Amino acid sequence: MNIKQIYFLILFFSAWSLYAGEIKFAGEAKQGGLIIAFGKNISSATLNNAKLQVDKSGYFIFGFDRDAKGVFKLKVRFKNKKTETFEYNIEPQIYEEQRLTLAKKYVVPPKKQSKRIQKENKLMKAARASVGKMKNALFISGFSYPVDTVNIHSVFGSQRILNGRKANVHNGLDFAGSEGDTIRAVSDGVVRIAGKDFFYNGNFILLDHGQGLTSVYLHMSSLIARTNQKVKKGEAIGLMGATGRATGPHLHLGVQWFKKRIDPMILFNTSLPSQE
């Protein structure tokens, strides 16, 4: 090997290592936040030592629960054995309180419904169990609103006060609209369950967007997509309604990264990091 060749090798490897270390991020590191990352030549990534799934194309995703606290450490290892570490200090959010009055049967479900609710919970659990097995980042199709006319009715994270008593947290984003309005997939995905007439959810659809990211669409008057169907971003999956525990026609959109509750608004405010 002559001097010229050695020079070339040194140049090549220094350029390579610089290049391999670059990660691009989009999204927000906050309670209920979501980060979409892209990098080339990644061999593995971990968040607080838990392994993340990385798509062949170099995209990966991770999120922070509504009540996440403290420091999260992202470690990315590249094929050239180099590693990079990023730290996220999650600041608490302030959530609003929302007072609601509902018929008593929805606050305390009647005993005769408990078997039905149990059965529905089991079906939902089974559907969620299949989430996270798809390494493919279908979400790289990007995100779009699930309704044609956007009218936010209730934000993510509110503490609900039902009939004067502290109740559950609103783990989604509500869109107001009319019975029969078209509801569309927020990103490419696979239908894990198209549930009919559930006590709480009514008619609903759970979409799997890969790497543990899901979106759920509740209270629909009717379903268009079927269980196991592949859908495209913007494709009609159902019609708006007030089925299940709903006070009027609206869409409740819930987003999760595995069991972490994510603010759906993040999706619509985030452009994917480019591959360039």
Environment class of residue 157 by beta-carbon count within 10 Å: exposed (0-12), middle (13-18) or buried (19+)?
Answer: buried
Query: Which residues touch 84 (CB under 8 Å, ≥6 apart)?
Result: 21, 23, 75, 76, 78
Min dist. Cβ of residue 273 to Zn ion (A): 30
* Residue number, 43 or 154, with CB nearest to Zn ion: 154
Which is nearer to Zn ion, 174 or 263 (by Cβ)?
Answer: 174
CB 203, CB 193: distance < 8 Å: no
DSSP string for residues in 165-212:
EEEEE--SEEEE--TT-EEE-SSSEEEEEEEEEETTTEEEEEEE-STT
- Tokens representing residue 15 in the block: 């350029």
Q: How far is the CB of 156 from Zn ion (least distance, A)?
A: 9
Q: Could you tell me the CA-to-CA distances from 118 to 105, 121, 194, 244 in Å, in that order?
A: 16, 5, 17, 15
Closest approach of Zn ion to the CB of residue 246, in Å: 8
| Minimum separation from the CB atom of position 141 to Zn ion (A) | 25
Least distance (Å) from Zn ion to the CB of residue 219? 8
**Chain positions contacting Zn ion, by CB under 5 A:** 172, 174, 252
H or E, element range at 269: none
Shortest gap between Cβ of 31 and Zn ion (angstroms)?
Answer: 18
The residue (of 44 and 98) whose beta carbon lies closer to Zn ion is: 98
**Cα–Cα dist 102/94, whole Å:** 25
Residues 18, 29: contact at Cβ < 8 Å? no
Residue with the shortest CB distance to Zn ion: 252
Q: How far is the CB of 163 from Zn ion (least distance, A)?
A: 17
CB of 51 to Zn ion, least distance (A): 32
Between 161 and 272, whose beta carbon lies closer to Zn ion? 161
Which is closer to Zn ion, CB of 172 or CB of 241? Answer: 172
3-state secondary structure at position 132? coil
By beta-carbon proximity to Zn ion, the closer residue of 20 and 205 is 205
Interior angle at CA 128, CA 124 and CA 130, nearest 5: 130
Give the residue with the Cβ less far from Zn ion, 63 or 172. 172
Q: Which is nearer to Zn ion, 170 or 209 (CB)?
A: 170
3-state secondary structure of 214: strand
Q: Which residues of 138-150 are buried (b: 16+ CB within 10 A; e: fewer)?
A: bbbbebebbbeee
**CA 242, CA 26: separation in Å to the nearest integer?**
34
